[in-house]
Each structure stands twice: as structure tokens, then as C-alpha cells.
Amino acid sequence: MEKIIDESKQGESIVLAQNPKNTRKLYIESYGCQMNFSDSEIVASILAKEGFNTTNRLEEADLVLVNTCSIRDKAEQTVRKRLEKYNAVKKNNPTMKVGVLGCMAERLKSKFLEEEKIVDMVVGPDAYKDLPNLVQEIDEGRNAVNVILSKEETYGDISPVRLNSNGINALVSITRGCDNMCTFCVVPFTRGRERSRDPQSILEEIQELVDKNYKEVTLLGQNVDSYLWYGGGLKKDFSKASEMQKATAVDFAKLLDMVATRFPKLRLRFSTSNPQDMHENVLLVMAKHKNICNYIHLPVQSGSDRILKEMNRLHTREEYFRLIDKIREIIPECGISQDMIAGFPTETEEDHQDTLSLMRYVKYDFGYMFAYSERPGTMAARKMEDDVPEPVKKRRLAEIIALQQEHSAYRTKAQVGKIKEVLIEGTSKKSDAHWKGRTSENTVAVFPKENYKPGDFVNVKIIDCTSATLLGEAVGLSDNN
């Protein structure tokens, strides 16, 4: 659940610059979190070298891929409907091949391939480099599957094409997999154990982005604070590393410092953080560098110690409060957002009230809130009864959302009268005469266009706000341009 899912991007198909030498058409749709969209860029890069140009017309595709998410039941149902649509189109284009990528692929491989026979190819999140071989298999009329989870694969040597990019913001994956066995989450079973990318490959990828004039990079991982490079291998095996490997290891604070120092004009974000792994050193690096955004996505999931234990979250309510206090002490204006689950198995009204009181203590800037949905393959699905009635879940979720909206409005109003640096990302959805961008704290700001352009860092005086958006007027370019 610690994955940010942007509903506006679900099912987005991607189109890249066409290579005139490529003769085949690839249609690829992505669902789920930022990690899946980043993976789609890797897949498109690999298949571009195999003769595929991307298309947004499903009907003309030779190969149709859907990159899937197992984190929520809604995403899974949507993907099933899309597979039905693909197969309806396939009747008119019998040479079309259909494949499923990502988290659902690993979990439902036999169902998709053998029982329902709705796909030709199933590819897990660690097997994308095997796509040339798998495509050859399906071209020769055989089903193809590779869902083996790797202990080494980080795709550090693949330079991803940027799909549907605005040319300003980019995602750079720094870890894959997760070692935190939260009972509600399927990620450790679909993406494998945690391993980190070579920091040199991360710096090289960011250098390419800077050379192309990108202005903001988000370092991405299931749990970025757990980043640890000691020459390769799983994080859990670090205890077996040599003394030299341990002495020269790079943790997340060091990586963040390296990137911020090397690219002082590049705005940096990171996601997702885990409360048990976020150390003070990261906060000190954030405070040291002006180009690291004052924003942390810090999922908590519940405010009840009892439920946190049931979820196998390795932190308590009190430890979370201490971390929040430390963030406020070191980075006073830091924006903080949350993930929250309503109606986890055995949750009582008292547990729910603990969640609301935790929210009142923190007063998050915004959040991602869901009613509990049992995910097959998770520990919760195997060991716990989904015993909170649906109407109770919905009511508790509504109360969480209402309180978050109140806090979002409070945090937004606190910005009025201040001058904030805003990176222009594009035209406002509501007015062609206004730019939109985000502040360091990740709040959306809108202001009249004047003579500025996308990619500019602009100082904006905030004169008004809605509950979630800052309204202002530019007072000039910032010194970050």
C-alpha cells in the first residue's frame, strides 16, 4: 500500500519518438504506482532495440502489453477488463500478441496462460531483459513466461526512454524489491527481496537527464531510506560483506548528498520513505541542500499500536511521533503526506479513533487513503479474516478523508502571504492564461503566465488558496535557473 497511485494516469498508453527503421508496433498501458510507470520506460527502451515503435492505436499493434499492479483490487479488475478488450480486438487482428507485465504477472501466471488463455506472454518485474527471447517465443507460436525474481537485477545498465514526459520531471529508480513484510502488502512476493543500484549508474542516469535539461528528479523505490550499496547483492546479506565493503558502503543519506552536490541546480525528491528506516542523517542532508525538496511521503497506515503490530509495521505510534517531531525540528516547513488504511482486520472503533488522533497530531499536508482490500498472497489474506463490515470501512474512510481535507486546507492557508519557489510544469487545467507547478513542499501553485515558460523556477507570492491549491503572482525568476 506504500505506493502512490495517481488515478489520472491509470491506463495511460505511451508514444515515443519513432525510429524509421523499426517496422513493428508496440502498444503499452500502465497501471499502479510510479514504479510501474518507470518500469514501462525500461520495457519500451528494450523493445525499441528489437524493432518496435510505440503507438497509441490499439488496433494497429503487433504487441500489446499491460503493466500491472497487485496492490489494490480495483486495479486488478480494471486490468482484467482491458485484457478482455485486447482479445476482442485480437479477433480482427489474429497476429496481435498480448502480454502481461509486472506484479499481477508473477501472481496470476498460470491463471492467465493456462486456465483463462487470455494472454500469450507473462513477464515478471525482474525479467524485462529477457523480453527479446520471450517475443521470439510468441512469434513462433508458443506461450512465453518468465516470472523469476532476481537477487541482482536493478536495470542499472538500461537507460530508460521517458514516456509521456513533459521534459521537466523524471523518475529514477534506485532500489527494487522490499524486505518489509507488512501483512497487507504483496510487494515482497511480486518484486522480491530488496537490492540497490550502483550509485555510479544512478549518477550517470541523472547526468543524462540534466544534459537533456530536465529540472526535477524523483529518486524512487519501494523503500528509499533502506538504500544500501556495498558492491551488489541483497540488503539482508550486508552482514556477510567484507570489512572493506562495509567501510565504503553508500546508504541513502550518502547517495542523496552525492546527487545534490553534483547537481546543485536540479530539484530532488524521493519516494517512498518508511518510518522505521528513516534516519536523522537523511534529514540533515535535506536541510543542508537547498535543491532537495522539503517534502517527505511518510506512510503510517494506522494510528493504533495494536493494528500496527497486526500489520507487521516495525514502528510504534510513539516512535512515529518522535520522527515527526525530529522532521519539524530539522526542517520546520517540511511538507509531510501519508498512506492510511481504514478497516484493517480486527480494527475496533478505538483503533480508528487512534488513527484520527494521530492525524490531528501530525496535520498532514495531504494523503492517500484507502479502505482495506484483501490481496491474495499476502500474510493478512492467509492468516486474518477480513472481518470489518463494508459499511463500517466506508464510514471510517470517509471520516479519515474529511479530517485530511481539513488539515490540507490548514496547511495550504499557512502559505498565504509567503513567497515560494515554484517549478513550472505546464499550463493550468482550469485556465490557459495560468501556469501550474509545485512548491518545494509539493503543493500545487497556479499563477498568471506572463513571460515565463515550463521548466522555469519562479518565485511566486501566494495571495490566496483553495483547500489544496495555492494561488499567486510571480515576482521574478529564482536564483536556481
Given a cut of 80, is residue 127 above it in pLDDT?
no
Residues forming CATH 3.80.30.20 domain(s) in the chain? 169-411
- Sign, Cα dihedral of 38, 40, 44, 50: positive
Comparing 17 with 253, which gets the higher pLDDT? 253
Three-state secondary structure along the chain?
A: CCCCCCHHHCCEECCCCCCCCCCEEEEEEECCCHHHHHHHHHHHHHHHCCCEEECCCHHHCCEEEEEECCCCHHHHHHHHHHHHHHHHHHCCCCCCEEEEEEHHHHHHHHHHHHHCCCCCEEECCCCHHHHHHHHHHHHCCCCEEECCCCCCCCCCCCCCCCCCCCCCEEEEECEECCCCCCCCCCHHHHHCCCEECCHHHHHHHHHHHHHCCCCEEEEECCCHHHCEECCCCEHHHHHHCCHHHHHCCEEHHHHHHHHHHHCCCCEEEEECCCCCCCCHHHHHHHHHCCCECCEEECCCECCCHHHHHHCCCCCCHHHHHHHHHHHHHHCCCCEEEEEEEECCCCCCHHHHHHHHHHHHHHCCCEEEEEECCCCCCCHHHHHCCCCCCHHHHHHHHHHHHHHHHHHHHHHHHCCCCCEEEEEEEEECCCCCCEEEEEECCCCEEEEECCCCCCCCEEEEEEEEECCCEEEEEEEEECCCC
Is 185 marked within a binding site?
yes
Is 178 marked within a binding site?
yes
Is 293 marked within a binding site?
no
Residues forming CATH 2.40.50.140 domain(s) in the chain? 418-477
CA distances from 287 to 227, 257, 420 (A): 19, 11, 17
Lowest mean pLDDT among 38-52, 268-282, 348-362, 388-402: 38-52
Percentage of the chain with pLDDT > 90?
Answer: 52
The chain-wide mean pLDDT, for the chain, equals 86
Local confidence band at 81 (pLDDT 50, 70, 90 cut-offs): confident
Please state the φ and ψ torsions of residue 143, each to the nearest 5 degrees: -65, 150
- The arithmetic mean of pLDDT across residues 327-347, rounded, is 96
Instruction: Check residue 80 and give its pLDDT.
Output: 78
Please state the φ and ψ torsions of residue 301, each to the nearest 5 degrees: 75, -35
Task: Tell me if the domain spanning 418-477 has CATH number 2.40.50.140.
Answer: yes
pLDDT tens-digit readout, 373-430: 887 778 888 899 999 999 999 999 999 999 999 999 999 999 999 999 999 999 998 8
Residues forming CATH 3.40.50.12160 domain(s) in the chain? 7-146
Cβ neighbours of 174 (radius 10 Å): 25
Given a cut of 60, is residue 162 above it in pLDDT?
no
Given a cut of 90, is residue 72 above it in pLDDT?
no
Comparing 393 with 237, which gets the higher pLDDT? 393
Local confidence band at 176 (pLDDT 50, 70, 90 cut-offs): confident
Q: Which residue has the cell 490548514?
A: 410
Alpha carbons 139 and 63: distance in angstroms, whole number: 10
Is 334 marked within a binding site?
no
Lowest mean pLDDT among 145-154, 236-245, 415-424: 145-154
Lowest mean pLDDT among 30-34, 309-313, 334-338, 415-419: 30-34
Instruction: Check residue 164 and give its pLDDT.
Output: 47
Q: Is 116 exposed, middle or buried (0-12, 13-18, 19+ CB in 10 A)?
A: middle
Start-to-end C-alpha separation, the chain: 36
pLDDT tens-digit readout, 95-115: 899 888 887 776 676 677 666
Local confidence band at 188 (pLDDT 50, 70, 90 cut-offs): low
Instruction: Check residue 384 and give its pLDDT.
Output: 92
- The arithmetic mean of pLDDT across residues 445-462, rounded, is 96
Is 33 marked within a binding site?
yes
Alpha carbons 470 and 97: distance in angstroms, whole number: 46
Indicate the CATH number of 7-146 among 3.40.50.1580, 3.40.50.2000, 3.30.70.270, 3.40.50.12160. 3.40.50.12160
Q: Is 312 exposed, middle or buried (0-12, 13-18, 19+ CB in 10 A)?
A: middle
Q: So what's the architecture of 169-411 in CATH?
A: Alpha-Beta Horseshoe (3.80)
CA distances from 110 to 116, 117, 118, 381 (A): 9, 9, 11, 20
* pTM above threshold 0.85: no
Are 94 and 73 in contact by the 8 Å Cβ rule? The answer is no
